[in-house]
Structure 1
Amino acid sequence: MGPADELLDPRRRDLIARLSRFMENPETDSIGWACLWFADLSTMEDLIKACEQNPPTVSRHISAALKKNDQRAQAIRAWASARSSEDSGEPSADKESDTEEPPTKKRRLTSDPCRAKELCEERDDEKCVLTGFTVPVEVVHIIPRSLGKGEEGLSDFWEALECYWSSEKVSAWKEQVLDPDGVETCSNLMCLVNVARRLWELAVFALKPLSLSEDKRQLEVQFYWLPMNRYQQTMPVTAIPSPFPHNLSSTNAEYTTVLCNIVTDSTIRSGDIFTFKTDDPVGHPLPSMQLLNMQWILTRVLALSGAAWVTEEEPFPDRDNEIEVEEEEDQ
């Protein structure tokens, strides 16, 4: 198993080729293209069946949904920009009550941003969960803070996801993100050293959730460096992306950056497995598997599409260094 086995799946390649035949113009931007390469196969199969049953009507809908789409672009970009802009400051604390509550009860109140941050720091022993560094360590959100501010104003984001992932999967993500505690909870936070946090924001690496122990005291994740691409305004839907490299020990050669684990005295490489631990799965819960899964999928979409590198000054520019794709095969 690697960082992007989806890109090597011949069944996926066939489904994308079949979908493209129903499009009036089989081109899109790199965001729509990347979403297809990480979409649920069942969702693509459903789209193809719908096209076959009612070609003219559905084909127009498919073409509109898959071509360059400002709604989708802004939705995915919202994910990218929220990651980089909202974790930079200290959380705002709600006004504390004058009434002192029992320690056990207070420990379980995680909807308060400051309290959630404290719980995360206590759980992670104020150390970066990847490098073991203690300074300068920051608490970061797995799912951006803005996504937990209620569904109003975020309908475009969720609708964009439902074009590519099953309604069951998106509903499960929404349930976690829109939980009464929102994203300001210990299970949506982790400690990272500042350079790792910035690389995380730019989708330079992602964490693949592997397993959670039955007692919920240990969580295994796998670290992967991701390619650093640039957004493309137009590209064929059927363009085959180059596989994500395995066994990397740094970012792309052009932007070489490494992370080191001071506990093992080694460079962090793609494929390395980390075990997050907690002594109190109720009061200091580990990161949510559901939220980590959402992060795993969308962070790879950001990396493949280049959307994480878009700036406010240059909203969606074309760049000289295009996304690497393989030679297209005859379909």
Structure 2
Amino acid sequence: MASTNGPEAEFSDPERIRLIQTLKDKMGEIQPTAWACLWLSDIEKLRGAAGGWPTALMAMAFHNMECDTKLAQAWAQRKRAPVSTASTPQRVPTPQASATPIRPPQAQPSSAQSSPALSPLADGRRGQKRTVSGRPISTPLQPIALGSPSANQQFSPSGGRSKSQRERCYQRDQMKCVLTKAGDPIEVAHIYPFSLQIELRPASQQSGTSFWTMLRMFWSDERVDAWFNALFPHGTETCQNLIGLCPNAHAYWGKAYFALKPIQMSDDKKRLDIEFHWLSSNPYAERVDLAQVPSLAITDHGPNETRLFDVQTLEVISSGQQICLTTDDPELRPLPNMKLLEMQWYLHRVTAMSGAGDLPDDFFHQSDDEDDVGVDFEDDQGRGDTESDYEWDTDRETWARS
């Protein structure tokens, strides 16, 4: 039976099961990412899908999400997006709460469509050329209207990585893995992936198949806006989007072998409680029975007999274990953002359910021309360095302790 508060909490909801069965009667088998998203979606979105969305339009949208957007693969960093470099390194500002919430650009509904959430997908496909297999080739999609004038604010990061923000994360987490309490070597992991920073740029939103448009198919505008506002305009390179992990925990995190559920942040922002959950993985399949109930929960280990231990108590880290993160300075070294952790809680589960976490990087035949090189922002001494994604994310240098 599904847990009432763990990774399978949504799967025991009778209304969700009934709505999923209604969709199953219409569509049968669908792509694995769409299957995972529907089982984890906000219930009002699921009601809309089951009650009114045209079947052909949904099928097209789900195909786009799997083959074009590659939502789960992108979250698992199995889909590399080009990263632009800047000639002059930039400093990353300390994120401050915005007085005016920003809404991510979203598609303009078509009056001819009965499904506003999906209409941009249909509009964007008109006039596209197709290959012999019937899949579309890369043809620019029609521009979509931005959600509000404020969404055109300048996106401040240049696309590079920030060593100064990484150092703040090291200091906040006291040069230890927040899960195992192990010391060096420690790596800094992104909550919202660095490789998806390009999806925050207005120019990247000009298509009905953008990453953020796809999220709106399954989760409410309020929820998606909150996720977006936690990143915009400063992007991925802020301390609140970083977390310190030992190398094996970082590797398991990248494969969605576990997820962290946000519980609560203290009023003074100095303490954050999270809950650890191992996630079982599924082999990737092109199609999945829509009514197949997902299985995610496992107790004391991850896929492939992976385990983590608290080095201070020598106890195995198990699902449901609560972990406390602290900071001495919530302004300079803020704790991980609750909304970003919530986004991770949903999308790590989507990744595990869809089988995207264990896919090889070239599974979907990405272009060899994609650029994996990132440029660091200028550090506090005014130096800018260039590193590859792998070198930055797996940096095992022992940093000098103060």
- TM-score, structure 1 length as denominator? 0.79
Task: Tell whether the 8 Å contact from 2:259 to 2:345 is kept in structure 1 after alignment.
Answer: yes
Query: Aligned in 2, Cα 1:292/1:220: closer, same or farther, shift over 3 Å?
Result: same
Q: How does 1:36-75 map to 2 (within 5 A)?
A: 36-51=38-53, 58-66=54-62, 69-71=65-67, 74-75=70-71
Q: CA deviation at 1:74?
A: 1.2
Q: What is the correspondence of 1:1-331 to structure 2 with a 5 Å cutoff?
A: 1-21=5-25, 23=26, 25-51=27-53, 58-66=54-62, 69-71=65-67, 74-81=70-77, 95=89, 108=94, 113-149=162-198, 150-153=201-204, 156-177=210-231, 179-242=232-295, 244-246=296-298, 248-252=299-303, 255-315=304-364
Distance in 1 of aligned mates of 2:265 and 2:326: 10
| Number of aligned positions between the proteins | 290
1:224-243 Cα shifts (integer Å, max 9, x gaps): 1100211110122112223x
Cα distance, 1:82 vs. partner? 5.8
Deviation at 1:114, TM superposition (A): 1.2
Checking the alignment, whether the CA contact within 8 Å between 1:31 and 1:73 is kept in structure 2 is: no
Seen in structure 2, the aligned counterparts of structure 1 residues 219 and 162 have a Cα distance that, compared at 3 Å, is same
Q: 1:94 to 1:274 in 2, by over 3 A?
A: farther
In structure 2, give the amino acid aligned to 1:173.
W
Secondary structure at 1:307 match in 2: coil
Q: Which moved more, 1:31-40 or 1:287-296?
A: 31-40
Counterpart code for 2:32: S
String of CA shifts for 1:136-184, please: whole Å, max 9, x gaps: 101111110132332433552112111111122112212222x122110
CA distance in 2, matches of 1:107, 1:163: 32
Write out per-residue CA displacement over residues 246-287 of structure 1, whole angstroms, 9 at most, x where no aligned residue: 5x11123xx112111112221111111000001111111100
| Identical positions, percent | 35
Q: 1:95 offset after TM fit, Å?
A: 4.2
Q: Give the Cα–Cα distance (whole angstroms) in 2 for the partners of residues 270 and 17 of structure 1.
A: 29
Are 1:65 and 1:163, in contact at CA under 8 Å, matched by a contact in 2?
A: no
**1:3 deviation in Å?**
2.1
In the alignment, the residues of structure 2 paired with residue 82 and residue 183 of structure 1 have an alpha-carbon distance, to the nearest angstrom, of 18
Structure 1: gaps spanning 5 or more residues: 52-57, 87-91, 98-105, 317-331
Q: CA RMSD in A?
A: 2.8
Distance 1:109 1:12 in 2: 37
Q: How far apart in 2 are the matches of 1:314 and 1:29? A: 16
Residues in 2 aligned to 1:46 and 1:264: alpha-carbon distance in whole angstroms: 48
SS at match of 2:196: helix
In 2, Cα distance between the equivalents of 1:35 and 1:169?
14
Structure (1 or 2) with the greater helix fraction: 1
Q: Specify whether residues 96 and 165 from structure 1 end up closer, same or farther in structure 2 by C-alpha distance, changes over 3 A only.
A: closer
Q: Supply the distance in 2 between the matched residues of 1:82 and 1:218 (Cα, whole angstroms).
A: 33
Question: CA distance change for structure 1 residues 180 and 63 in 2, over 3 Å: closer, same or farther?
Answer: closer
3-state SS of the aligned residue for 1:271? coil
Q: Secondary structure at the match of 1:163?
A: helix
Q: Distance in 1 between matches of 2:174 and 2:87?
A: 22
Q: Match of 2:39, as an amino acid? A: W
Displacement of 1:66 in angstroms is 4.1
Cα 1:96–1:142 change in 2 (3 A) is closer
- Cα distance, 1:65 vs. partner? 2.9
Q: Per the alignment, do residues 42 and 72 of structure 1 end up closer, same or farther by CA in structure 2, a change over 3 Å counting? A: farther
Q: Which residue number in structure 2 is paired with residue 89 of structure 1?
A: none
Whether the 8 Å CA contact 2:72–2:354 is kept in 1: the answer is no
Task: Write the deviation string for residues 14-70 of structure 1: whole angstroms up to 9, x where unpaired.
Answer: 11112233x3x422121111111111101111233435xxxxxx3332343346853
